[in-house]
Copies of this chain bind each other. A is one copy, B any other.
């Protein structure tokens, strides 16, 4: 009842919640949302089935919070850089950072890609993704334009597709093209596209 113990309770809650979410993310990413049962999550997290419902209203809510937290994780560090891109170096850093973020959060991305093609699982997801991705597009657009591209919008399309496709390869088939090599090739290709006269 003392403020301190209240804080402790809060910490416990927060930790348990994170534990459940991490466990769920692993299972969702590995086996898919539908193929993962609440029992599995509870068992793997080492808690009882009932307790899960103390922290989340439903299985779907776990998914939704996971999506939310995924967006935050992925886009939070982008925010810092995104406004000031001017030089090529900064753009390259930005791209590299993106790639690095994907590789660090492969499971989130796996989950995202699986949701992309199942709109009914999370109707809100698609819209939200676009909303959050938009500033990134905008920033890239501005940079491309600043480099003197004669068709910045067209170049953006090509580059955006290339990056999205790279992410997909990272997640789904890293053995086809080695991610490290791919990163270099893609960056080089970006500049070929932008600076071509």
Contacts and interface: CB of A to CB of B under 8 A. Distances in A.
Interface of A: 29-32, 34-35, 110, 113-114, 116-121, 126, 130, 151, 154-155, 157-166, 168-169, 171-173, 176-177, 181-182, 184-186, 188-189, 192-193, 196
A140 to B, nearest CB: 13
A193 B187 CA distance: 11
Contact of A32 (B120, B173, B186): B120
A196 B31 CA distance: 42
Tell me the interface secondary structure of chain A in the complex. Answer: helix
A115 to B, nearest CB: 9
Given A160-B165, A161-B177, 12 more contacts: A32-B118, A116-B172, A117-B171, A126-B173, A151-B185, A154-B188, A158-B189, A160-B169, A160-B177, A161-B165, A161-B182, A162-B162
**Top 6 A-B pairs, shortest CB-CB distance:** A165-B165, A158-B189, A161-B165, A34-B34, A164-B165, A154-B185
Given A32-B121, A113-B116, A157 B171 contact: no
A156 to B, nearest CB: 8
Nearest to A129: B173
B186 A35 contact: no
Which of A30, A126, A181, A192 counts the most B-chain CB atoms under 10 A from its CB?
Answer: A192
B158 A186 contact: yes
Which of A162, A163, A185, A193 counts the most B-chain CB atoms under 10 A from its CB?
Answer: A162
Contacts of A158: 162, 185-186, 188-189
Given A34-B34, A118-B114, A193-B193, A185 B157 contact: yes
B118 A35 contact: yes
B165 A168 contact: yes
A111 to B, nearest CB: 8
